[in-house]
Amino acid sequence: MLGRKEFSGSRQKILPRLAYFLKRIKELTEREGVEHTARKVMREAVDRINPPWHCMFWMPMSGYVEAPIDERVSLRVFCEFDGSLDEAMFEKGLGASEMSVLASRLRNGCQLCVLLKGQVLAGTLFFVFGRNHRFQHLILTEQDVVILDARIVPRFRGQGLYSLFLNLSLNTLKEKGIERVFVQTSEHNEPSLRALRRVGFRYLMRYKTCLGMYRYDVSPL
């Protein structure tokens, strides 16, 4: 049995996580409706019990073909958490609970790409550079980049914007000496899988996490 001190320490760790989780649910319900939120929470609960495979893709920048400009949308790039960032827009589009994550990643050398439709936030993604972070599900070199948490805001899904967003974001890497780009998505995310193949990403491997351990579907020699 837990002693009083151990119980108190466990409670101090659990309560902030519970508060964050409840805040996320409240924000999701207000932004996306009860039905969508219930499906998402159920999906997350099932995934915790039976973690899904995450499919890893990669693409050499030498083989990337720039896509034509689409006047429906525009792209903004942020490398710092400063006054140029419209925090109100991000809170409305992503929720206030995401702001600390966004700020932390920018402070740690990530690049934030923002898709705008008019003046409205339609999507976000992060580039994690290997020169700053050597491990992100796989070992990275200084010329590697991983795409992290790419998303399209729910109200703009189903419009073919994800592949367009990827293309616009990849264009920003051409002058940075990047040689390879990696990205992963859940095996359940069919729209994302289709968009990645459409842009030119190649399947590499699958992995899943269970109790903090990584399990890959391939073994090293």
Residue 125 has pLDDT above 80, yes or no: yes
Tell me what pLDDT residue 85 has: 82
Same domain, 60 and 159: yes
Q: Which of 113, 103, 187 is nearest to 145 (CA)?
A: 113
- Has residue 221 been placed in a domain? no
Position 136 confidence tier, pLDDT thresholds 50, 70, 90: confident
Phi (first) and psi of residue 212, to 5 degrees: 80, 0
Tell me what pLDDT residue 94 has: 85
Same domain, 64 and 14: no
Which range, of 41-55, 106-120, 188-202, averages the lowest pLDDT?
A: 41-55
Residue range 158-197, pLDDT digits in tens: 999 999 999 999 999 988 999 999 999 999 999 999 999 9
Residue range 65-103, pLDDT digits in tens: 887 778 889 999 999 888 788 888 888 888 888 888 999
State both tokens at 14: 């659990």
Tell me what pLDDT residue 12 has: 58
- Residue showing tokens 């902030």: 16
**Domain that residue 88 falls in:** 52-216
End-to-end Cα distance, the chain: 44
User: Collapsing DSSP states into helix, strand and coil, what is residue 192?
Assistant: helix
Same domain, 3 and 16: yes
- Residue showing tokens 């400009």: 69
Same domain, 107 and 59: yes
Tell me what pLDDT residue 117 has: 94
- Has residue 178 been placed in a domain? yes
Tell me what pLDDT residue 92 has: 84
- Has residue 33 been placed in a domain? yes
CB 150 within 8 A of CB 123: yes
Residue 133 to residues 69, 110, 144, 184, 208: CA-CA distances in angstroms?
A: 31, 9, 10, 16, 20
Write the CATH number for 105.
Answer: 3.40.630.30
Residue that wins the pLDDT comparison between 7 and 67: 67
Strands 74-78 and 54-60: unpaired
Same domain, 171 and 134: yes
Same domain, 34 and 98: no
Same domain, 23 and 97: no
| Count of domains forming the chain | 2
Instruction: Identify each DSSP E strand in 39-197 by its residue range.
Output: 54-60, 74-78, 111-117, 120-129, 144-152, 180-186
Same domain, 198 and 125: yes
Position 214 confidence tier, pLDDT thresholds 50, 70, 90: confident
pTM of the model: 0.77
State both tokens at 72: 């429906």
Same domain, 8 and 62: no
